[in-house]
């Protein structure tokens, strides 16, 4: 294969473009790794480009492509090391109660135990003077967590709905629990089973009993 002749470019133009490109590459790598050695390499490269022999266009392109590939490989390796393992293949929980624990990712903070978390939310929904705005705010906050609330939290929330005569919110809470369970199909029936006495006591129907799952 016959190579085309190189265009007649000014060496200073090629040298300046190459210098800016390499400097940017090293700055990006230094930002990722925080390495003083990379800063020293940047200075050494700058001197080589400024004072080295004249660059041809093909040589400049080869250097730039090589630097790009190296820095891409370094960035990919760093990202792979930083990624937590096991997220793509989570272990299946042995039972419904354990499944609730398995989907808890402690979005609420690593310094709060599960028991403290549950107690805090039960207390929140058990406030005798809770209003509709506080009820919605509490549920919206719970939905933002990467977990399925325990049945005792849902129980307290449903009782708050009953005190406010807000039947629609009670049904919506049950729908949210089903949505939060995601692929863990055993969680929602377990929660309904645990809540059945409360549902009967308060006269609350499930979304399935109302036919909402078929809408």
Least reliable range by pLDDT among 13-27, 83-97, 99-113, 200-214? 83-97
Asked if the structure places residue 39 within a domain, the reply is no
The answer to whether the beta carbons of residues 58 and 14 sit under 8 Å apart is no
Could you tell me the pTM of the whole model?
A: 0.51
pLDDT in tens, 153-164: 999 999 999 999
Asked if the structure places residue 170 within a domain, the reply is yes
User: What total number of domains does the chain contain?
Assistant: 1
**Which among 123, 3, 105, 119 has a CA at the least distance from the CA of 56?**
3
pLDDT in tens, 36-60: 444 455 555 455 445 554 545 455 4
Name the residue range of residue 181's domain.
116-210
Asked if the structure places residue 147 within a domain, the reply is yes
Asked if the structure places residue 100 within a domain, the reply is no
What is d(CA 215, CA 162) in angstroms, rounded to the nearest whole number? 25
Look up the CATH number of the domain holding residue 194.
1.25.40.40
Q: Is 4 exposed, middle or buried (0-12, 13-18, 19+ CB in 10 A)?
A: exposed
Asked if the structure places residue 52 within a domain, the reply is no
Asked if the structure places residue 126 within a domain, the reply is yes
**Which percentage of the chain shows pLDDT scores above 70?**
48
Asked if the structure places residue 101 within a domain, the reply is no
What's the mean pLDDT when you consider all of the chain? 71
Asked if the structure places residue 63 within a domain, the reply is no
């Amino acid at each position: 294969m016959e190579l085309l002749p190189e265009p007649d470019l000014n060496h200073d133009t090629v040298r300046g473009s190459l210098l800016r490109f390499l400097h940017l590459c090293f700055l990006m790598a230094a930002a990722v790794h925080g390495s003083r050695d990379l800063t020293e390499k940047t200075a050494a490269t700058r001197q080589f480009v400024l004072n080295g022999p004249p660059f041809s266009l093909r040589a400049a392109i080869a250097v730039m492509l090589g630097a790009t590939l190296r820095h891409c490989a370094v960035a990919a390796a760093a990202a792979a090391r930083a990624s937590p393992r096991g997220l793509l293949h989570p272990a299946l929980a042995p039972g419904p109660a354990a499944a609730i624990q398995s989907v808890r990712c402690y979005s609420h903070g690593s310094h709060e135990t599960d028991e403290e978390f549950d107690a805090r939310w039960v207390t929140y929904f058990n406030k005798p003077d809770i209003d509709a705005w506080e009820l919605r705010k509490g549920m919206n906050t719970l939905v933002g967590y990467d977990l399925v609330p325990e049945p005792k939290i849902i129980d307290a929330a449903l009782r708050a709905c009953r005190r406010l005569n807000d039947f629609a919110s009670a049904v919506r809470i049950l729908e949210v629990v089903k949505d939060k369970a995601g692929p863990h199909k055993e969680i929602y029936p377990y929660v309904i089973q645990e809540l059945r006495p409360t549902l009967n006591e308060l006269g609350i129907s499930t979304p399935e009993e109302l036919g909402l799952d078929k809408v």
